[in-house]
Amino acid sequence: MTRHFNFCSGPAALPTTVLERAQRELLDFAGHGLSVMEMSHRSAEFMAVAEKAEADLRELLKVPSDYSVLFMQGGAASQFACVPLNLLGQGGTPNYLDTGIWSQKAMKEAQHLGGGHLAAGSKDNGYTAVPTQSDIALSADAAYLHYTDNETIGGLAFDYIPDVDAPLVCDMSSSILSRPLDVEKFGVIYAGAQKNIGPAGITVVIIRNDLLARARPETPTMLSYKTMADNGSMYNTPPTFAWYLSGLVFEWLKEQGGVEAMAAVNERKAAKLYAAIDGSGFYSNPIHKAHRSIMNVPFVLANETLNSTFLSEAEAGGLLNLKGHRSVGGMRASIYNAVPEEAVDALIAFMNDFERRYG
């Protein structure tokens, strides 16, 4: 069996040791004689899996006791509707920061549900830098401020946490668990699992408990944060295998030294790759250096006619999923927690060799 280096933006790489453990436990989980996929989600065995996963996530992110941790379905895109549905029951206007495609999609969903205010955006600079704190202008009746911490497609990331007089809501799908986080600065954090948590199919929501009572009356039961909190995220049958695998990833992160240790590795991986790009006349990245993502690194070749050659040769060399998003083009290396440092080293070596041969 050959494991290649996977730079996919999502579903993304999972730790090899996690996959190997899941493989060992696939037919017989913990000596129970069946797979975790086959057991009741309300059994004592699975409840233990779910409770440990939540406890480990709380430990990793130092989640305060007055916050609920929810495991929901529908991906981060479903949260674009969940947020306004759950937070606008007392009136007010949802406020948004526009830093790219995902923040735009979130705001568009809010507009479907009654409006939205653009508090600041990056359109004027071509989405190459995030708005500054002083750029942010909330509406007078702001119900919350939503922003996307890391734009997966554009590789644009915030280097600060906005400080505003309204609950702060953040899409952290591609940055959660990559570095330490002060959860208390947020009202709601949400993240699709398929980048830094686990397989696609489950979404983590961390919400301050005082916000659970703010839902609009028409909020569907399955989209209600309070319903999920009151039912331990098991109002219906949850995606049990995704929950179990996410828990294994949380265990793996603790074994690596937690998010503090991962942050050091992630900074080093990103620094290497950006140095290779910046030190070349063949590759380039347009993002302001202070706002470059350490998770998603887009780059373009000086000669775009070589794109297909670059991708085919990279894949032949075991470097997978480097094609940039169709809306941006070029290349993109997603270097999440589970992407080992040797993968980045191998990519840099290939890039240098490709430039030598075609530059």
Q: How far is CA 4 from each of CA 10, 13, 30, 199, 338, rounded to the nearest angstrom?
A: 16, 10, 29, 18, 13
| Beta bridge pairs of residue 146 | 96, 169
5's enclosing H/E stretch is strand 5-6
Catalytic-residue membership of 171: yes
Best CA proximity match to 193, nearest among 35, 79, 27:
79
Question: Which pLDDT belongs to residue 327?
Answer: 81
Residue 137 predicted with pLDDT over 70 = yes
From the list 56, 195, 226, 252, the catalytic residue is 195
Identify the band that residue 243 occupies on the pLDDT scale cut at 50, 70 and 90: very high
End-to-end, the C-alpha distance of the chain in Å comes to 34
Question: Which pLDDT belongs to residue 1?
Answer: 67
Mean pLDDT over 33-44 rounds to: 95
Mean pLDDT over 25-44 rounds to: 95
Asked if residue 277 lies in contact with residue 333, where contact means CB atoms within 8 angstroms, the answer is no
From the list 56, 98, 149, 171, the catalytic residue is 171
Dist CA 46 CA 71 (whole Å) = 14
Residue 328 predicted with pLDDT over 90 = no
Dist CA 202 CA 127 (whole Å) = 29
From the list 98, 102, 269, 323, the catalytic residue is 102
Residue 264 predicted with pLDDT over 90 = yes
Catalytic-residue membership of 195: yes
Q: Which domains does the chain have, with CATH numbers?
A: 16-255 (3.40.640.10), 257-358 (3.90.1150.10)
Question: DSSP string spanning 201-212?
Answer: T-EEEEEEGGGT
Q: What is the mean pLDDT of the chain?
A: 97
* % pLDDT > 90, the chain: 97
Alpha-carbon dihedral angle through residues 210, 215, 221, 225, given to the nearest 10 degrees: -30
